Amino acid sequence: MTLDRVKRGQFFKIASIMDDLTRTQAIRFGLTEGALLSCEEVVPAGPIVVRRNSQLLALGRGLAGQILVEPAKVNVRC
């Protein structure tokens, strides 16, 4: 599943990021492969807002489509 398909409130882990440049940019923002994120908001046809710890990031839909994620199995602390 790609990141643009996640639903609000869902927890997931980043499996892989396809594009090279996107991947290095993402690492700076803390989005590494294996990072645990939650989806804060999905703007219809627009960006996906994800939360990683206390940080909120808005990712354009095209970018989100390049990030492969897998749903996190365990419910983490809220």
Partner 1 sequence: MAQCHGSVGLKNMPGGSRRIVLAGNPNTGKSVFFNHLTGLYADVSNYPGTTLEISRGRFGNDVIIDTPGVYGISSFNDEERIARDIILSADVVINVVDAVHLERDLFLTQQIIDTGVPVVVALNMMDEAGRQGLTINAGLLGDLLGVPVVPTVAVRKKGFAELKEHLPAARAGHMTPGLDGLTDRLLALTGSRGEALLVLEGDPVVAGRHGLQPQNRREEIYLKRRQRVNHIVRQVMGETSRGASFGSLLGRWMIKPATGLPILALALYAMYQVIGVFIAGTVVGFTEETVMLERYEPLVQDLAGRFVERESALGTILVGEFGLLTMTFTYLLGLLLPLVTGFYFFLSLFEDSGYLPRVATLVDRLLNGVGLNGRGVIPLILGFGCVTMATITTRLLSSERERRIAIVLLGLTIPCSAQMGVIAGMLAAVGGLYAALYALVIFTVLVVAGTILNTVLPGRPTDLIIDLPPLRLPRADNVLKKTGTKSFNFMKEAFPLFALGSVIISVLQVTGILEFLQDLLAPLTAGWLNLPKEAATAFIMGIVRRDFGAAGLTDMALTPVQTAVALITVTLFVPCIASVLIIFKERSKQEAAMIWGGSWAAAFLTGGAVSQLYGAFGGGTGSRGIVWIILACLGTAVATVLVCLLIKRRGRAAAERGPGGG
Binding site for partner 1 (CB under 8 A): 20, 22-30, 32, 40-41, 43-47, 49, 52-63
Q: Whose structure tokens read 């639903």?
A: 7
SS3 call for 27: helix
Quick one: 1 or 43, whose CB is closer to partner 1?
Answer: 43
- Shortest gap between Cβ of 8 and partner 1 (angstroms)? 9
**Rounded to an integer, what distance in angstroms lies between the CA atom of residue 66 and that of residue 69?**
10
- Shortest gap between Cβ of 5 and partner 1 (angstroms)? 16
Quick one: 60 or 71, whose CB is closer to partner 1?
Answer: 60
**Rounded to an integer, what distance in angstroms lies between the CA atom of residue 59 and that of residue 57?**
6
Q: Are 65 and 4 in contact (CB under 8 A)?
A: yes
- Shortest gap between Cβ of 33 and partner 1 (angstroms)? 8
